[in-house]
Amino acid sequence: MFAKIKQYQTHILAFVAQLRDLRVVGMLVFLVILLLVSWSGVKTIETNYALQKQISRLQQENAVKKLTNENMKLENQYFNTPQYLELAARRDFGLAAPGEPVIAVPRAVALSYTVDLPKPAVAEKTKAQSEPSVHQRNFQAWVDFLFHRNNKE
Residues 101-137: pLDDT tens digits? 877 788 888 888 888 877 776 555 565 567 788 888 8
Q: Which domain holds residue 141?
A: 118-153
In a domain, 113, yes or no: no
Residues 53-78: pLDDT tens digits? 999 999 999 999 999 999 999 999 99
In a domain, 42, yes or no: yes
Taken in order 29, 33, 36, 42, the sign of the CA dihedral is negative
Counted residue by residue, the chain has a size of 153
Same domain, 14 and 82: yes
Same domain, 79 and 33: yes
Rounded Cα–Cα distance for residues 44 and 109 (Å): 77
Name the domain count of the chain: 2
Determine the pLDDT at residue 38: 96
Residues 6+ apart with CB under 8 A from 4: none
In a domain, 153, yes or no: yes
* Cβ neighbours around 132 below 10 Å, total: 12
